[in-house]
Amino acid sequence: LKLQPLKCIHLLRLTDTVVDSVEDELELSTVRHRPEGLEQLEARTRFSRKELQILYRGFKNECPSGIVNEETFKDIYAQFFPQGESSTYAHFLFNAFDTDHNGSLSFEDFVMGLSILLRGTIQEKLNWAFNLYDINKDGYITKEEMLDIMKAIYDMMGKCTYPILKEDTPRQHVEVFFQKMDKNKDGVVTIDEFIDCCQNDENIMRSMHLFENVL
SS (H, E, C) 151-203: HHHHHHHHHHCCCCCCCCHHHHHHHHHHHHHCCCCCCEECHHHHHHHHHCCHH
* Predicted local confidence at residue 4, as pLDDT: 45
> What pTM was estimated for this model as a whole?
0.76
On whether the CB atoms of residues 141 and 126 are closer than 8 A, the answer is: no
Could you tell me which of 154, 128, 146 has the C-alpha nearest to residue 189? 146
> Which burial class, exposed, middle or buried, applies to 146 when counting CB atoms under 10 A from its CB (0-12, 13-18, 19+)?
buried
| Contact (Cβ atoms closer than 8 angstroms) between residue 38 and residue 24 | yes
Least confident window among 16-30, 48-62, 72-86: 16-30
**In terms of Cα–Cα distance, which of 182, 181, 109, 101 is closest to 135?**
101
Rounded to whole angstroms, what are the CA distances from 122 to 114, 149, 207, 208?
Answer: 14, 21, 11, 7
Nearest to 123 by CA among 208, 214, 210: 208
Cβ atoms of 116 and 124 within 8 Å: the answer is yes
Q: Answer yes or no: are the C-beta atoms of 78 and 87 closer than 8 Å.
A: yes
The per-residue pLDDT for range 57-77, each reduced to its tens digit, is 999 988 899 899 999 999 998
**Arithmetic mean of pLDDT over the chain:** 81
Q: What is the pLDDT of residues 158-197, one digit of tens each?
A: 756 545 567 788 899 899 999 999 999 999 999 999 999 9
**pLDDT tens digit string along 99-123?**
989 999 999 999 999 999 999 999 9
